[in-house]
Amino acid sequence: MENEKLVGFAGKKALKLISLLVFVSLFSFWLVEQSPIDPVRAYVGEMAISPEHKAQLEEYWGVNVPPQEKYFNWAVNILQGNFGTSLIYKRPVIDVILERFSVSLVLMATSWLISGILGFILGVIAGMKRGTLMDKIIKTYCYILAATPTFWLALLLLMVFSVYLGWFPIGLSVPIGATADNVTIFDWLYRLILPAVTLSLLGVAQIAMFTRKKLIEVLSSDYVLFAKARGEKGLDLVLRHGVRNIALPAITLQFLGFSELFGGAILVEQIFSYPGIGQATVQAGLSSDVPLLLGIVLFSAIFVFTGNLIADIIYEFVDPRIRQQEAAQ
């Protein structure tokens, strides 16, 4: 019974992923093709160039190839694992993406964890102490944070900590002049802190408010009422009945936030000059580096899909209440 369900689930999801990738790639490809931006002009800028040079560049950027052919070539290549070569980095797209993504992954994972844990704790405190000053403070903090432009907060932190206090470097993941081997883990962590703090601060708001709302719901439930009638109270009550009942929904929410996380990373990396996939996206977009851009689009789709998939798995297989409903059938 369980196995049947598992196989059905996996099958549906795989199909969904494939159809998603196909449509996303078609749509993105079409969009980029529509672009009136002349990639050669964007690349060359205001410089004057000879017609031969121009023809060369045009060939390089694939300007004269008809779109269907381009897409077909590209798709065939993708299926063979060849994502093409990045026009601005002059390296295979797949290498660029993997390298940059691992750098971003550290940033995103750190912020994701911190905002998740901190947000959960704040949400529990606010829910427990509903109506008190503490609750109001947390609510206000989250409310304002949710309205804060990511890039502005990043700029502020940059100004305060890097420019004014000089605690952190203004940019780059490794110090200039130092080779990759010379860079210690501390150097790296150092440059990770500000972008991670920015993303964490912003991520806290959503999960805190959700946790708070769910905890309030749980605390007004019948079973908590009965627990109170039996003499349970205070933090013990919340820990025994509250946390358990909201932990899963909260974790699920975190996994559904992969999309926002990626978006936030794009902005934050740009400001802190953190060489991750976000920065690469901006560069690729500004320079019409089609192979790289499309590669990133596909990759981000897979990334978001993974987050949603994990959330679904938690919902379908881990939450005992769902199993409860099925047992009742």
Partner 1 sequence: MIRKREVKNVSEEILNVSNISISFLQYTRGLRQNLLKVITDLTLNISSGEVIAVLGSSGSGKSLLAHAILGILPKNAQLSGEIKYKGEILDQKRKEELRGKEIALIPQSVNFLDPLMKVSDQVIGEVEDEEDKKRKKAHQREVFEKYGLSEEVDDLYPFQLSGGMARKVLVSTALLTNPKLVIADEPTPGLDDKAIEETLSHIRKMADDGVGVLLITHDINAALKVADKVAIFYSGYVIEIANVGDFSGDGERLKHPYTHALYNALPQNGFKLYKGHQPLHGEIPVGCVFNSRCPHPTESCVMVNPDLMEIGGTYVRCNKYQQSNLYG
Partner 2 sequence: MSSATATLKKGLFLGLNLRQKTILIISLTSILLFGILISSLILGGEALPTNFGSKNLAPSLAHPFGTDWMGRDMFIRTVEGLGLSLIVGFVASSLSTILAIVLGIFSSLSKKTDAFVSWLVDLFLSIPHLLFIILISIGLGGGVVGVIAGVALTHWTSLTRVVRAEIKQLKTQEYIHISSKMGKSKLWIAIKHMMPHLIPQILVGVILMFPHAILHEASVTFLGFGLSPHEPAIGIILSESMKYLAAGYWWLAFFPGLSLLIVVLAFDMIGDNIGLLMDPKSAHD
* Binding residues vs partner 1 (CB under 8 A): 220, 222-233, 236-237, 240-241, 244-245, 320-321, 324, 327-328
Tell me phi and psi for residue 38, to 5 degrees: -85, 115
Tell me phi and psi for residue 172, to 5 degrees: 70, 145
Residues in the chain: 329
Residue number with CB closer to partner 2 (27 or 60): 27
**36 scored as a contact of partner 2 (CB under 8 A):** yes
DSSP secondary structure code for residue 4 in this structure: H
CA distance 289 to 86: 7
Which one of the spans 28-36, 108-116, 119-127, 247-255 is the region binding partner 2 (CB under 8 A)? 28-36
Q: Are 264 and 203 in contact (CB under 8 A)?
A: yes
The count of residues interacting with partner 2 (CB under 8 A) is 50
**31 scored as a contact of partner 2 (CB under 8 A):** yes
Q: Which of 214, 270, 291, 295: binder of partner 2 (CB under 8 A)?
A: 270
CA distance 219 to 225: 8
Check the CA dihedral 253-143-274-280 and report its sign. positive
Residue number with CB closer to partner 1 (30 or 223): 223
- Give which of partner 2, partner 1, none residue 3 binds (C-beta under 5 to 8 Å, depending on kind): none
CA distance 278 to 270: 7
Of residues 99-158, which lie at the interface with partner 2 (CB under 8 A)?
143-144, 146-152, 155-156, 158
Q: Are 239 and 246 in contact (CB under 8 A)?
A: no
Residue number with CB closer to partner 2 (210 or 262): 262
- The token pair at 44 is 């060359």
Tell me phi and psi for residue 61, to 5 degrees: -85, -5
Residue number with CB closer to partner 2 (16 or 91): 16
- Give which of partner 1, partner 2, none residue 228 binds (C-beta under 5 to 8 Å, depending on kind): partner 1
Residue number with CB closer to partner 1 (43 or 315): 315
User: Which residues, at least 6 apart from 129, have a Cβ–Cβ distance to it below 8 Å?
Assistant: 135
Binding site for partner 2 (CB under 8 A): 16, 20, 23-24, 27-28, 30-37, 143-144, 146-152, 155-156, 158-159, 163-164, 170, 259-260, 262-263, 266-267, 270-271, 281-282, 285-286, 288, 293, 296-297, 300-301, 304-305
